[in-house]
Amino acid sequence: MKVLKLFVPVCLMFACIATDAAAQIAVKGETVYTMDGDPIRDGVVLIRDGKIERVGTAGSVSIPDGYDVHEAKVVTPGLIDSRSVVGLAGILNQDHDQDQIEMSNAFQPDLRAIDAFNAREDLVKFLLGKGITTVHTGHGPGALVSGQTMIAKTAGNTVEQSLVDSTTAIAITLGAGIRGGYSTPGTRAKSVAMLRQNLIEGQDYAKNRNSDNPPSRNLGRESMADLIDGKIYALIHVQRAQDIMTAIRLQKEFGFRMLLEGAAEAYLVKDEIKEAGVPVIIHPTMVRTWGETQNAGFKTAAKLKEAGIPVVFQSGYEGYVPKTRVVLFEAAIAVANGFGYEDALQALTIDAAALFGIDDRVGSLETGKDADVVLFNGDPFEYTTKATRVIVNGNVVYEKD
């Protein structure tokens, strides 16, 4: 996690604005999943100045005068989508609103997500209405290195207001998921050779940039050096088993922090993934099964979890319709296919937050954390359930009855 200094004052300023605007809120839930201990029956969450003030049973927490009260069957922390492209990819799917991939070159680690994220994008607000309050988004799969990713809240009108983490990962694709149309790489082997060469240059850059005689600045190499230094993740999009093994091979060679993304055939090499200690951001459960994802299954998330591999969920990238998936819906199908109920809620909240190092702010309903809370009119995973209130930073930003 790396927050650019530039954004610190801006974020503080926004926090002040939010503080002024936020009403004091009490959320009452028949079941409150705090993700910090057992769920609370008849629970209350108090929100003050944009933060969680107190959480407990209705019997133990009295609601002070002047608090707006909202009630729901089920209350959860704001949900976290661990891999998306929304904000860079727009709803219209026209050239002018598709900034998740740059076709001029297959290797562009210097592309920042913050320079392309449209906080007002309809798809971002759509996800907000489904209870997704935080999204790891950015450059998509499809290039060997397509660019950087970031983490944002789905509320907020500018990237500066929404930002949680400016530079989270470098988005890498291995295997046949690299689009045609680049002059190179055209094969798996060439992809890996290019990546290794650039990682070696990143190693040199990392070593020399703190020396007495630092190299002249090079944005791409800076990013690769950040990867080498463990400041950011390598987010590797792979589906086929042999490409998963390639990712693990590269990780062993260069020692970067890695997240496997997609991983449709992960069940074939789960022992190897476990041994490598790599978390998996599993493909959307309902991913269409052709091409690279031909062998995807509804039970893969459950199988990996059962094997002891950390699993979180994603909405992923869609080139056509639907233009985004909904991470909650994808997790629901995994739950219906053997993934534990509370495991899935954890994966959508505190596990994802911990993975990205943002669990000091989001991922659970604990005193002092950001007041990101979702109210559901039933079991969040059920087809017929919907979010009735979404609260971000203590503001009710979505209401529907």
Hey, which residues between 244 and 283 contact other proteins (CB under 8 A)?
265, 267-268
Pick from 24, 105, 118, 337 the residue near other proteins by CB under 8 A: 337
Tokens 């005689």 correspond to what residue? 213
* 165/359 Cα distance (integer angstroms): 12
Q: Strand order in 258-262's β-sheet?
A: 79-81, 132-138, 145-153, 163-173, 233-238, 258-262, 280-282, 311-313
Q: Extract the runs of DSSP E, i.e. beta strands, from 78-227.
A: 79-81, 132-138, 145-153, 163-173
Give backbone dihedrals phi and psi of 301, rounded to 5 degrees, phi first: -55, -45
Nearest to 374 by CA among 35, 74, 118: 74
How long a stretch of residues is the chain?
401
Segments in 31-89 forming alpha helices (H): none
Q: Specify the residue, 216 or 384, whose C-beta has the smaller distance to other proteins.
A: 384
Rounded Cα gap, residues 399 and 329, in angstroms:
19
Q: Which segment (167-175, 186-194, 254-262, 320-328) binds other proteins by CB under 8 A?
A: 320-328
Q: Which is nearer to other proteins, 330 or 370 (CB)?
A: 330
Could you say which residues in the range 292-311 bind other proteins, by CB under 8 A?
A: 294-299
- Residue number with CB closer to other proteins (14 or 339): 339
Query: How many Å apart are CA 147 and CA 100, to the nearest integer?
Result: 9
Q: Which is nearer to other proteins, 249 or 288 (CB)?
A: 288
323 lies in the binding site for other proteins (CB under 8 A): yes
For the four alpha carbons of 151, 153, 154 and 160, in that order, the dihedral sign comes to negative
**What would the x/- binding string for other proteins be over residues 186 to 215, using CB under 8 A?**
------------------------------
Residue 98 binding other proteins, by CB under 8 A: no
Q: Please give the full DSSP string across 331-386, using - where no structure is assigned.
A: HHHHHHTT--HHHHHHHTTHHHHHHTT-TTTSSS--TTSB--EEEESS-TTSTT--
118 forms part of the interface with other proteins (CB under 8 A): no
CB of 329 to other proteins, least distance (A): 6
324 counts as binding other proteins under rule CB under 8 A: yes
CA distances from 325 to 82, 138, 144, 146, 372 (A): 12, 15, 23, 21, 21
Select 202 or 316, whichever has its Cβ closest to other proteins: 316
Cα-flanking dihedrals φ and ψ of residue 272, to 5°? -65, -40
Using CB under 8 A, which of 42, 71, 360, 382 touches other proteins?
A: 382
Nearest CB to other proteins, comparing residues 240 and 369: 240
126 touching other proteins, by CB under 8 A: yes
- Out of 57, 62, 93, 158, the residue judged to bind other proteins by CB under 8 A: 93
Contacting other proteins (CB under 8 A), which of 122, 204, 222, 306?
122
Q: Which of 21, 288, 308, 399 binds other proteins (CB under 8 A)?
A: 288
Contact residue for other proteins among 336, 340, 354, 357 (CB under 8 A): 336
**Cβ–Cβ contacts within 10 Å for residue 139, how many?**
31
Q: Provide the binding-site residues for other proteins, judged by CB under 8 A.
A: 90-94, 122-123, 126, 265, 267-268, 286, 288-291, 294-299, 318, 320-326, 329, 332-333, 335-337, 381-386
